[in-house]
Homo-oligomer: A and B are copies of this chain.
Amino acid sequence: MSVFDPPAARRDALRTDLYQLTMAAAYHRAGLTHTATFELFTRRLRPARRGYWIAAGLEQALDYLEGLRFRGEDIDFLRRLPAFEGADHEDFFARLAALRFEGEVWAVPEGTPVFPWEPLLRVSAPALQAQIVETYLLSLINFQTLIASKAARVAQATRGKPFVDFGTRRAHGPEAAELAARAAYVGGAVGTSNVEAARRLGLPAYGTFAHSWVMSFDDEDEAFRRYAEAFPQNTTLLIDTYDTVAAARRIVERDLPCQAVRLDSGDLAALSREVRRILDEGGRSEVKIVASSDLNEDKIDAMERAGCAVDIYGVGTELVTSKDWPALGGVYKLVEQRGPDGGVRYPIKLSSSKRSWPGRKQVYRRSQGALYAGDLIALADEEGHPGAPLLEKVLEGGRRLRPSPPLPEVRERCLAEVARLPEGVRNLAEPAEYPVVRSEALVALAERAYEELRHDAR
């Protein structure tokens, strides 16, 4: 059971919140047959100190929707749950056993920058189906969007220098590590240390050795030589186990074979410059310098400003957990109900500070020269707005309309799209706000819906 399984092999119908299934049973019993439209979106960028989010996770979301099946063992488990006691749900269970996701999905392509209140995904399906998929869609898209967004910041900080995901051991379990490896690549990483992610997703895999290798020998040089014997074309010597500068000098003096050295502690900017000088003066200018050690976009930015001599960055914990802001508050909200008679309702809620915007939406992104100038959130059936629509129809009748783009293409797209954002929005420390407005028709629809609700409440 993996998020990377193809649709036919999926076994994840129960990977959801119980209330999705109890609500589904209640929809069924109440005989609700309308088509519901839900939108998945974020509500804010602050206090996360982000200038944008990078949409990611759609591929696994579509695999899930195409493969959704409740098996006999799933239904047997539900039947025995105390929650389902007290009423006869056999008719609902029979419906679950036959259930396929038959809806329509519109989505922003992976690797696209998005802003608060812009739908990343719009799902229209029979209410029961659209409801059941909420939790899984959120958990896939929230996390990958979070990590792709963090990776895009790291890419900004390295100024085009390559960086590699090193975070597996601190990710939230093995699968989170693989999802993070994927999302980090979408956001700009060149690859990952995670072998399974490399296999599953075709990502480049990176890595050589750890301190334990050096510590396994009495002599550091022997550790270096032995490793190079095993990997003559791929030796990155970790040189900080005892004395970074002394090790760099011995590499030159004793002509120790290697393609790169790695620094994993101390003042990385200063050490990288000193090691670079030693290598260059010793005729080893071809040897690259890799830096790691609890790095994040701020530390890398500071190192780059300080003129460090690092060639490749390894970024771990901070990247795969988005440590400064480890949860994307994406939500999935009901915005429209379309009855079997064609009648349309626009549901809203009033819960304090959780205002909702009804109606199916589209986002139009305007350009000014090479850069993006602002977005308009409009109703999906409005016409004539300038700019490129962000949401594309990707699933119809529960089936994909076209194969997904290869991941390297998604990554290139992301780098190119981020580069088109206004510079202030890409600022790491205090990103400027990107202009997003709502169409008059959308605002009018929301006002009408609130007015009607107040009227009903009287």
* A interface residues (Cβ-Cβ under 8 A, vs B): 1-3, 12, 14-19, 21-23, 25-27, 29-30, 32, 34, 36, 38, 77-78, 81-87, 89, 127, 131, 134-136, 138-140, 142-143, 166, 168-180, 193-196, 198-199, 204-216, 218, 226-227, 229-234, 240-243, 264-266, 317, 321-323, 326-330, 332-334, 337, 345, 347-354, 453, 456-457
- Given A14-B199, A207-B19, A234-B86, A143 and B172 contact (CB-CB distance below 8 Å): yes
Task: Enumerate chain B residues within 8 angstroms of A15, measured Cβ to Cβ.
Answer: 174, 177-178, 194-196
Query: Which of A26, A169, A243, A337 has the most chain B CB atoms closer than 10 A to its own CB?
Result: A169
How many identical chains are in the complex? 2
- Given A30-B226, A135-B168, A172-B176, A212 and B328 contact (CB-CB distance below 8 Å): no
By the criterion CB–CB under 8 Å, are B173 and A351 in contact?
A: no
By the criterion CB–CB under 8 Å, are A233 and B86 in contact?
A: yes
Task: Enumerate chain B residues within 8 angstroms of A21, measured Cβ to Cβ.
Answer: 195
Give 14 A-B contacts (CB < 8 Å), ordered by A residue: A19-B208, A26-B226, A26-B229, A27-B216, A134-B169, A138-B169, A139-B169, A139-B174, A142-B170, A169-B330, A171-B172, A212-B333, A218-B345, A321-B327
By the criterion CB–CB under 8 Å, are B333 and A317 in contact?
A: no
Q: What is the bound-complex CA distance between A404 and B39, given in angstroms?
A: 44
By the criterion CB–CB under 8 Å, are A173 and B139 in contact?
A: yes
Q: What is the bound-complex CA distance between A241 and B177, given in angstroms?
A: 37
A451 CB, min distance to chain B CBs, angstroms: 14
Task: Enumerate chain B residues within 8 angstroms of A175, measured Cβ to Cβ.
Answer: 3, 173-176
Q: What is the bound-complex CA distance between A194 and B139, given in angstroms?
A: 12
A8 CB, min distance to chain B CBs, angstroms: 16
Q: What is the bound-complex CA distance between A224 and B277, given in angstroms?
A: 73
Q: What is the bound-complex CA distance between A197 and B456, given in angstroms?
A: 41
By the criterion CB–CB under 8 Å, are A215 and B348 in contact?
A: yes
Nearest B residue to A324, CB-CB: B326
Task: Enumerate chain B residues within 8 angstroms of A208, measured Cβ to Cβ.
Answer: 19, 22
Q: What is the bound-complex CA distance between A215 and B326, given in angstroms?
A: 30
Contact for A350 among B3, B78, B232, B242, CB less than 8 A: B242
